[in-house]
Amino acid sequence: MKGSKKSLQPELNPRKKRVFTLIVILIPVLFFVLLETGLRIFSYGGNTRLFISGTDDISGYWMCNPEVARRYFFMQQTIPTPSKDLFLKQKPANGYRIFVLGGSTTAGFPYGNNIMFSRILHRRLADAFPEKYIEVVNTAMSAINSYTLLDFMDEILKMQPDAILIYAGHNEYYGALGVSSMESLGKNPDFIRTYMKLTRCKTFVLVRNIVGSIRKVTGKNVNKNVQDPTATLMARIVADQKIAYKSDIYEKGKIQFRENLTRIMHKAASAGVPVMLSDLVSNIRDQAPFESVKIDSFPTAQHAFQVAQELERQKNYGDAKIAYLLAKDLDALRFRAAEEFNTIINETAAKFNAPVVPMQTLFAANSPNGLMGNNLFVEHLHPNVHGNFILADGFFNTLKTNQWIAAQWDSSKIKPSSFYEKIWGYTELDSVSAGLGIQYLKGGWPFQPKNTPNHSLDHFKMQTIVDSLAYRVLVDKSFSLQSAHLYLAEYYEIHDQLQKAYAEYQALIFTIPWEIMFYERAAKILIKVNNYDHALALLLESHKYGSNAFTNKWTGQLLITKGMLKQALPFLEKALTDTPDDKQLSTNYEKVKQHLQQQTVSSTPDSIAKEQAAQKLIMENIGIINKIGYDSMMRKIVELLKAEEYNSAYILLHKALEFEDNFFTRKWLGLLSIPQKNYNDAIKHLEIAIKQKPDDFEVLYNLCHAYILTSNKSQARDALMQLEKLRPNFNDPMNLRQKTSEL
C-alpha cells in the first residue's frame, strides 16, 4: 500500500507471545529464587531461629539461640542475647515445661543469669515437685517488646509448653520495632507484624541490611549514639526521646501493646496453653522524672514528683503513692510503663480468664510505707537481688493459688523465699559486677546529658582481684561474667580458700546448670572439706544433665558410705567403663558386686556376717574419702607452720588427729602445746610420737622440757639420758641438763 512501511519483524503468533510473556515474568522470579537459595546455602544473616540444638554433650537438648535478636536489631553493632537455658528434645512423661517471656527485667539485668527470677522459680518448683521434671526456659532479652514476644509464640508453642509466664510492658516505645525505637519501621502494627514474617526470607534480610547501612552512612533518622562505642544499649535504641502523656504516639504505644498481647493470648488459647501475666513495677519514690514537659490539663512530671515528696514528708503515704505514680506516668521519657499498661494487662487477662501476678502489691508490701524505691531497685526500673526473689515468689504463689502443675501442692516440700535467698549461688563478684554495670549505665544518657561520652569508669580504682575481674567483664566483650567466676574460683583454690572457691562454682552452677565441670569441681571441694552429704546431693543433681568418670565414681563411692550399695553399683560400672585402669575403683566395684550377689544367691544368709561385710566396705570407702580431706588439711597445716601461724596450725592439727593418728600430727601437737602452756597435752602427744619414732631428737628434747615444766624429775632424767645416747655432748639451748639437776 502506498505510504506504508512493511514491518521488519514478523508478528508473534498468540502461543509464542504467551511463552515470551511467561519468560519475561519468570526471569525476575527465577533471579530471586536463585538469590534466596544462594543466601540460604551460605547462611547469610546466620541462623536466627529461636531454638537451636545443643552441641556435643548437650545434643539431647534445645537451647535459646544467642543470635535470635538479629531478627530485630539491624542498626546495632552489638545485640542482646537470651539466657543459657536448656530443655529436653524428648519431653519426659513426668515433665512440666514453662516458658518465660519478657525484657531486661525478666532477663535479670544487671546481674548474671543466676539472679533471673525464672532461675529462682525453677529451683523452687523443682524442690516442691521432686517427682516431676520441671523445666523453666527464659527467652527474655534487653530492649525487646511485645512484637518480639508475639514473634516467638509460634516457635514456643511447637515445643510442648505446659505454661507461659509473661512479665513485659516497659519497652513498648523504645524496644526493637516499637513506635519510638531506633529499630522501628514505622508505627503501623500490621505492617510491622508483616515485616517480622518477611524476616524469615534471606533476600528480605539482605535488602533490610542494605537500607540500614545506607541509613548509618547518611545519618538519616539515626540516633547519634548508635555508633558511639561508649553509649549504652539504652541510649542507642531510642529514636523519639520525648513522648508526652496522652499524645498520639503515646496512644499508639498502648494500641501496639494491647493488640500484640491479645494476639499472644489468642495463639496460646488456640493451642490450649495457659498464660500467666504480671502487672509491672518500677522505682517511683527515688527516681525523679527524666523529662518533664508541659501538657494541657496535667501538671508537669517534675511538679507531680515534688508534690509526692511533700505528701510523703507529711506522712500522707496513700496520696504520696498516687502522686509518685502520676509523676512516673507524666515522665516524657518512657522507660517506665505508665499505669495504663497495667490496666491493659488486667483487662486482657480477664478477657482470656488468665491469672495476673499482683506484683505491684507485693513490691509495695516490701517497701517502707508502700513506696517502691531504691530498697528494691538498682536504678529507675530493674529490681535488685531481693527484688528478683520477690518476682519469683509472686509467680510461685500465683501458680500455687491457681493450682497449676498440680491440684494439691505438698506444703511440707515448700520452703519460703527467704530460705533460697540465704543459700543462693551469688557472690561478691556478682555484686561488684552489677554495681559497675549500673555505674556505667548512669554515666550515659538519660542520666547524663545526651550525646556525651561515658566517662563513668575513668577513675574506677581496682583494689582487689574481684574489682579487676568485674571491670574486665564490663569492658572486654570476649570475657564474660561466667569466665570471671571460673577464673576467681581457680584463684581461690590455688590459695587454698576452698569455701570461697566453692561459692564461685556454686554461682556458676546456678548460672549454667547443665555444665558438668562446675558440679565436678564443686564436689571435689566439698569432699576435701568432708561435706559428703552435700557433695552427694550435688553429684546426683549433675546426673540430670550428663556424667563423666569423676561424677560416676564419686557418686558411687559416696553412696557406698551411706550403705546404699545397690544404688552405687550402676555408677561404679559406668565409671569403670571410662577408667578401667583405676585399681581402687575396680576393687570397690568387685566388692560391691560380690556382696550384692551373695545377698541374692544365699537362701539362708548369715545376716550378721553380711552386715559386717557391708559395714567393712562402707568404712573402707569412708576412709578413702576422708583421706582426700585429710591430705588437703595437712597441706594447709604445713603452709601455716612455714608462715609461723602456729595458733591456726594448732587448731587444724587437732582436727587432723580425728582422721589419722601419725607421727607428724602428734609431734607438732606436742611442740605447739608447750607455748600454749598445755604441758600435760604436750607430754601426751610427744610420748606417743617418740614411741612411733624413738630416734627423733627434736621430739625427745621437747619431751624432756615438758617433763621439767611439770616437775617430773625421774622422767626428765630418763629423757636426758636418752638424748645423751642419741647425741653425746649435744647442744643444749634450753639448759635442760642444769634444769633437770635442779629439780
**If DSSP states are collapsed to H, E and C, what string results for 567-623?**
HHHHHHHHHHHHCCCCHHHHHHHHHHHHHHHHHHHCCCCCHHHHHHHHHHHHHHHHH
| Measured CA distances, 633 to 524, 627, 630, 655, 657 (Å) | 14, 10, 5, 9, 11
Give the β-pairing of 51-53 and 61-64.
antiparallel
Among 498, 535, 499, 497, which residue's Cα sits nearest to residue 519? 535
Query: In 121-180, at which residue ranges do the beta strands (DSSP E only) sit?
Result: 133-138, 163-167
Residue type, 432: V
Other beta carbons within 10 Å of 730: 14
In the chain, what are the domain boundaries? 51-280, 446-625, 661-742
**How many residues are listed for the chain in this entry?**
743
Cα–Cα distance measured from residue 642 to residue 645, given in angstroms and rounded to the nearest whole number:
8
Q: Which residue has the cell 602456729?
A: 646
User: 86 by DSSP, 3-state: which?
Assistant: strand
What is d(CA 680, CA 683) in angstroms, rounded to the nearest whole number?
5
**708 to 17, 740, 741: CA distances (angstroms):** 126, 7, 10
Output the 3-class SS for 331-375: CCCCCCCCHHHHHHHHHHHHHCCCCEECHHHHHHHCCHHHCCCCC
Among 182, 186, 175, 170, residue whose Cα is nearest residue 147: 175
Evaluate whether 388 touches 118 at the Cβ level (below 8 Å). Answer: no
Sheet with 163-167: list strands edge to edge: 133-138, 95-102, 163-167, 275-278, 356-357
- Low-confidence residues of the chain, pLDDT below 70? 1-12, 16-22, 24, 26, 28-36, 38-40, 42-46, 75-77, 182-187, 195-196, 198, 200-240, 599-633, 658-659
Ramachandran angles phi, psi of 680, nearest 5°: -65, -40
Q: Output the CATH code of domain 446-625.
A: 1.25.40.10
> Going by DSSP bridges, is the β-strand pair 95-102/163-167 parallel, antiparallel, or unpaired?
parallel
709's CB contacts (< 8 A; 6+ apart) are 674, 679
**What are the C-alpha distances in Å from 183 to residues 77, 208, 388?**
12, 11, 29
Q: In what order do the strands lie in the sheet with 61-64?
A: 51-53, 61-64, 86-88
- The pLDDT tens digits of the residues spanning 683-738 come to 999 999 999 899 889 999 999 999 999 989 889 899 889 998 888 888 888 998 88
* Pairwise CA distance, residues 641 & 98, whole Å: 55
Nearest to 115 by CA among 421, 495, 370: 421
The CA distance from 365 to 496, in Å, is: 43
Pair 166, 149: CB distance under 8 Å: yes
Q: Cβ-count burial of 586 within 10 angstroms (0-12 exposed, 13-18 middle, 19+ buried)?
A: middle
Q: Give dist(CA 111, CA 482) in Å, integer.
A: 11
- State pTM to two decimals: 0.75
Strand bridging mode 86-88 / 95-102: unpaired
Q: Are 135 and 160 in contact (CB under 8 A)?
A: no
Amino acid 424: pLDDT: 95
Q: What whole-number distance in Å separates Cα of residue 454 and Cα of residue 183?
A: 22
Tell me the C-alpha distance between 643 and 429, whole Å.
29
Residue 734 DSSP label: T
Residue with cell 493451642: 271
Torsion of CA 46, 48, 49, 54, to 10 degrees: 60
Helices (H), 512-582: 516-528, 532-542, 549-561, 565-578
Rg (alpha carbons) of the chain, rounded to whole number:
36
Q: b vs e for 167-190, b when ≥16 Cβ sit within 10 Å of the residue's Cβ?
A: bbbbbbbbbbbbbbbbbbeebebe
Which pairs from 571-580 meet CB under 8 Å and 24+ separation? 574/547, 575/549, 575/550, 578/548, 578/549, 578/552, 579/549, 579/553
**pLDDT tens string 61-99:** 999 999 999 888 776 667 889 998 999 999 999 999 999
Identify the CATH homologous superfamily for domain 661-742: Tetratricopeptide repeat domain (1.25.40.10)
Ordered DSSP codes for 199-253: TTSHHHHHHHHHHHHHHHHH-TT--GGGG-TTS-HHHHSBSS----TT-HHHHHH
| Buried/exposed 533-566: b ≥16 CB within 10 Å, e otherwise | eebbebbbebeebbbbbbbbbbbbbbbbbeeebe
Cα of first residue to Cα of last residue in the chain, in angstroms, is 157
Strands (E), 346-461: 356-357
Report the C-alpha gap between 404 and 400 in whole angstroms: 6
Task: Report the amino acid identity of residue 711.
Answer: S
Backbone torsions φ then ψ of 55, nearest 5 degrees: -100, 155
* Amino acid residing at 212: G
Q: Which of 490, 449, 523, 495 is nearest to 231 (CA)?
A: 449
Beta-carbon contacts of residue 445 (< 8 Å; ≥ 6 apart)? 225, 231, 232, 234, 235, 451, 452
Neighbouring CB atoms inside 10 A of 100's CB total 26
